[in-house]
Structure formats: structure tokens, C-alpha cells
């Protein structure tokens, strides 16, 4: 979208409509929410950073073309030039703080953190426990200082803005670290599932899969439990039993041949394993499926 589009640009003088000489602007989400029927059309702020905290209700919308939906308590960072539009639920309660990016750079000592870490917009997931309390208290303090005219008001507001930026930096880093960790875990499980699909008939030990994936068996099993709520061995056995159920349900192969096709040398052992896993002997299972009592999936 063109950066010269005047319809999307909201200058700071409009954002801080009450006191145009303030170092930052604060307002509750309800101010413009109620005024605009809780839907804020797509717009952007050049040279401004905005921090939002939704304490109650929910919000959905788009940020730079990406749809999102979030339930309170949630924090949003809106970077300069980022095109964003929101629809809040009418019960939404929250805060937003807007300040010039040049001020933010000064507050953080001219470091590259503003551009590198706070240079892109993001929606931080639902806050919990101390994070939620700390965030709520800090935004509430900004609200009190902004509305009052106590001595040292500007210094207090700038101090709060510094804390807001630092808290956002930390939570953003933790969020991305969790996302990267989750992505790595998901990728590991996907690779494991692909290997299982190739080798489940060979009855290889878990160490075979772990070695192929470059991890320890314990790490592989912990990761599978975290992502799939099953151990690596349970996943392997489940795939084997899925194929056994399919063969029993959809083919006329004798049980001994089903066992052999699945890599079992001993049909009796296969029957015991199947009965323990499924709850019926292979022959009983086949009869139950044929009669419509059990499904084959």
C-alpha cells in the first residue's frame, strides 16, 4: 500500500487531541471504540509507536494484511507505518499509549532495540499471572499520570513509557522463543511421523528413529508427548495397529498373513499385542467390523 495515502495516515496531533504538547498520548480503548461502534478502520501512524493492552473482552482485525483474533488479557505492539484496523467486542476494556518513535529511541539510549526488536507490529498471546498484573498496573499508572497534573508529570510518563517498551521487548522475546521452540518441536514430530510411515513394519527400536533424527530417545519421546500427547513408542504402536485394523477390516487375509505382512514372525504374539491394544482378538475384531459393531478407523 502506498506510504503517501493521506486517508490512512493519522498524525500525532490527531492522536493526542486533548493536550497537543504532551510527550505521549494515553486513552482508553473505549474512547474511540464507543465513538466508532467498536470498529476502528484500517489506518497507520507514521513515526509513532503504539502499545495496547486489552484487559477485558476480545479483538479481531488485521495488521499489515494479516488477520488475527485475540482474547483478553492481551498486549499489542503497533510499529510506525504499520496498517492496522480492529473490531472490539462492546465489553472491551483496555488502554493504549502512543508516543513518537524518536522519543522511544531516546528513552532506550539510542540503541538499535527500537528498530530491531520493536520495529514490527505483533500481538502477544494471552498474559497470565504476574505478567498480566504487571502489565495492567503499568498501563493504569500511565492513565493516572496522564490525567493528573502532578509535579514531574512528564518525567513520570516517560519513565512509564520506558518500562512499557522494556516489558514489551522482554515479552516479545519470550513469545518468539516459545514459537521457535514449538516450531522446532512440531518439525521434529513431523519428521518422526514420516520415518514411522517408512519403517513401522520393520519393528525398529526407538533408538533407530532417534539416531536418524539426531536426538536422544528420551528427547524424542518428551517432544512427542508435548506436541501429540503420546510418547514416541505409542505413536509407533498406534501406526502399526492402524494398519492391522485396516487389513483385518478390508481384506480377507488370514490373521497369520496379516501378522506376517506387518513384520511379525509369531502370529500368536501379534494376536496378543493386537488384543492388548485394541481390546479384541484379531478374529473378533474382524467379526465386529463385519457386523457393523466396530469401525475400522
Q: Does 1 have pLDDT greater than 60? A: no
pLDDT single digits (tens) 237-255: 999 998 999 899 888 899 9
Q: Does 17 have pLDDT greater than 50? A: no
Q: Does 3 have pLDDT greater than 80? A: no
What is the homologous superfamily of the domain 234-290 according to CATH?
Homeodomain-like (1.10.10.60)
Q: Does 182 have pLDDT greater than 70? A: no
- This model's pTM is above 0.75: no
* pLDDT score for 179: 54
Say which residue, 292 or 175, is predicted with more confidence.
292
Does domain 12-148 sit in CATH 3.40.50.1820? no
Highest-scoring range by mean pLDDT, 61-65, 127-131, 211-215? 211-215
Q: Provide DSSP, the chain.
A: --TT-TTTB--HHHHT-S-TT-SSEEEEHHHHHHHTTTEEEEEB-TTEEEEEEEEESEEEEEETTEEEEEESSEEEEE-TT--EEEEE-TT-EEEEEEEEHHHHHHHTTT-THHHHTSSS-EEE----HHHHHHHHHHHHHHHHHHHS--TTHHHHHHHHHHHHHHHHHHHHHHHHHHHHHHHHHHHHHHHHHHHHHHHGGGT--HHHHHHHHTS-HHHHHHHHHHHHSS-HHHHHHHHHHHHHHHHHHH----HHHHHHHTT-S-HHHHHHHHHHHHSS-HHHHHHHHHTTSS---
The residue ranges of every structural domain in the chain are 12-148, 234-290
Amino acid at each position: 500500500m502506498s506510504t503517501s495515502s493521506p486517508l490512512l495516515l493519522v498524525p500525532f496531533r490527531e492522536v493526542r487531541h486533548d493536550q497537543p504538547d504532551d510527550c505521549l498520548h494515553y486513552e482508553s480503548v473505549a474512547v474511540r471504540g464507543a465513538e466508532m461502534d467498536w470498529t476502528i478502520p484500517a489506518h497507520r501512524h507514521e513515526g509513532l509507536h503504539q502499545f495496547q493492552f486489552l484487559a477485558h473482552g476480545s479483538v479481531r482485525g488485521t495488521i499489515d494484511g494479516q488477520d488475527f483474533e485475540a482474547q483478553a488479557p492481551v498486549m499489542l505492539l503497533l510499529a510506525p507505518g504499520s496498517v492496522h484496523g480492529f473490531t472490539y467486542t462492546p465489553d472491551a476494556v483496555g488502554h493504549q499509549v502512543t508516543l513518537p518513535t524518536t522519543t522511544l529511541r531516546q528513552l532506550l539510549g539510542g540503541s538499535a532495540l527500537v528498530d530491531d526488536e520493536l520495529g514490527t507490529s505483533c500481538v502477544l498471546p494471552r498474559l497470565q499471572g504476574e505478567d498480566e498484573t504487571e502489565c495492567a498496573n503499568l498501563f493504569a499508572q500511565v492513565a493516572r499520570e496522564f490525567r493528573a497534573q502532578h509535579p514531574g508529570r512528564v518525567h513520570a510518563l516517560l519513565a512509564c513509557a520506558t518500562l512499557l517498551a522494556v516489558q514489551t521487548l522482554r515479552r516479545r522475546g519470550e513469545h518468539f522463543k516459545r514459537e521457535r521452540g514449538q516450531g522446532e518441536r512440531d518439525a521434529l514430530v513431523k519428521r518422526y511421523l514420516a520415518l514411522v510411515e517408512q519403517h513401522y513394519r520393520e519393528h525398529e527400536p526407538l533408538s533407530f528413529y532417534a539416531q536418524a533424527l539426531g536426538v536422544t530417545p528420551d528427547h524424542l519421546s518428551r517432544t512427542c508427548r508435548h506436541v501429540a500427547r503420546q510418547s514416541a513408542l505409542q505413536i509407533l504402536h498406534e501406526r502399526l495397529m492402524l494398519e492391522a485394523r485396516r487389513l483385518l477390516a478390508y481384506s480377507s487375509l488370514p490373521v497369520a498373513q496379516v501378522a506376517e505382512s506387518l513384520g511379525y514372525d509369531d502370529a500368536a504374539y501379534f494376536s496378543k499385542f493386537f488384543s492388548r491394544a485394541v481390546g479384541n482378538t484379531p478374529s473378533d475384531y474382524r467379526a465386529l467390523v463385519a457386523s457393523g459393531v466396530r469401525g475400522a478407523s
